[in-house]
Structure 1
C-alpha cells in the first residue's frame, strides 16, 4: 500500500473510485453524482501535505486508487482524520494501516495532542476502524451536512489521544 498526494492525471481513476454510492454517501463534502470534473477540481485545489492523500494498492496492472485519507484542521481548529475506501478494498486492513501512518506523522512531526474523527451512525464499518485505531467516543452526536445525500446525517464523534514521541536520549560527549 502507498499513500501519496493526488495528481491531476489521477482524475479519471479517482472519479471512478469515489463515484460509487457506497463510498460517497459517507463523505460530507463529496457531491453525487461524483464526476470527472469534481475529481479534477479536487486534485487541482491546494491542500496541506496531510490533507488529501490517495491510498494505492498494487494489482495486475500496477498501483490503483483504492481510497483516500487526510488529516486536517476542522472548523473547530482541531485536527480531524477522514478516509474512504472502495467497497472491494474494505476488510483488508488498508484503512487502519493508512490511518496509523498518519497518526505516526501527527505524533512525530506535527506533535498533535489529539485527533478527532466522526462517522455516520449507519456506517458501522468506519466505527470499527476507529475503534481498532484507539479512538474513543466523545459522547457527542452531531448533525453533519452530507452533500451526496442532500440532507444532514447524524454522526458520532470520536477522539484519539496521540501518545507523544519519546525524546531521543541526550548525546554523550566523549572526554
Structure 2
C-alpha cells in the first residue's frame, strides 16, 4: 500500500527511481547522514538508487518529503515508519540542512503519525542520537515521551555505534484499543 499526504507546506509521497538524483542532492551532507543510523557517508546517486529500490514494509508509510512551491516540488527530506527486529514500529525522519529550523520535520512527522493512527497502530517508538538535541525537540512537540532508556545504535555514517535516547508515543487507549483522536 502506497501512502501519500499533503500538509500546509509539504507533499509526502513514496520515492520512485526517478527521485534518485534529487534524493542524493538533498541528503548529501555529512551531518544529515550522521544524525541517522542507516545512510552511509559519503552518500551519492548509487546509495539513493539502492534505497529507493530496497523493499519496504507495504503496511507502513515510507515517504520522501517535498516542499510545495509555485513550481515543481523540492525534495527536502524523508519520513516513515519501519518495523524493528523487536516488532516495535519506529518513526524515522530527516530534513536537508538548508531547511533545518523551519518546522518541516514536525509537520512531516505529524502527517505520518496521523497515518499511523489510521492504521490503528497502538504506539510508535523513536530514537535520536544524544548529540542531536534538535530531534529531541521535534519528538517532544509531537507528544513523544522519553522512556528513560538509552542504547547504542550503529550509524553507518559515523562508522560505529553512538548512544541514542529512546521515546514512545501512545496512539491508542490501553483498554478497548480505540484510536486516540487525530491531532488538530
TM-score norm. by structure 1 comes to 0.89
SS at match of 1:157: strand
Query: The residue matched to 2:85 in structure 1 has which SS?
Result: coil
| Distance (Å, rounded) in 2 between the aligned partners of 1:48 and 1:89 | 28
Query: How far, CA to CA, are the matches of 2:114 and 2:52 in structure 1?
Result: 25
Could you tell me which runs of 5 or more consecutive residues in structure 1 were left unpaired when the two chains were aligned.
168-175
For 1:166 and 1:86, how far apart are their aligned partners in 2? 31
Report deviation, 1:59: 3.8
* Equivalence for 1:170: none
1:60 to partner: Cα distance: 5.7
| Correspondent of 2:86 among 76, 81, 91 | 76
Q: Give secondary structure in 2 for the equivalent of 1:116.
A: strand
1:16 and 2:25 aligned: yes
* Structure 2 residue aligned with 1:58: 68
Question: How far apart in 1 are the matches of 2:62 and 2:158?
Answer: 22
**Which residue does the alignment assign to 2:116?**
106
Q: Are the equivalent residues in 1 in contact too, given 2:152–2:162 (CA < 8 A)?
A: yes
Contact 2:61-2:112 within 8 A present in 1 as well? no
- Segment drifting more, 98-107 vs 59-68: 59-68
1:1-175 pair list within 5 angstroms? 1-49=10-58, 50-59=60-69, 61-108=71-118, 110-163=119-172, 164-165=178-179
d(CA) in 1 for partners of 2:74 and 2:22?
Answer: 8
- Cα distance in 2, alignment partners of residues 122 and 116 from structure 1: 19
Equivalent pairs, count = 166
Structure 2 CA distance for aligned equivalents of residues 2 and 59 of structure 1: 10
2:121 & 2:19 partners in 1: Cα distance?
A: 30
Moved more, 59-68 or 18-27: 59-68
CA offset digits 1:90-143 (Å, max 9, x no partner): 2222111111111111112x2111100000000010000000000011011000
> Which segment drifts farther, 91-100 or 66-75?
91-100
| TM-aligned CA distance change 1:18 to 1:166, over 3 Å | closer
Query: What runs of 5+ residues in structure 2 fail to find an aligned partner?
Result: 1-9, 173-177
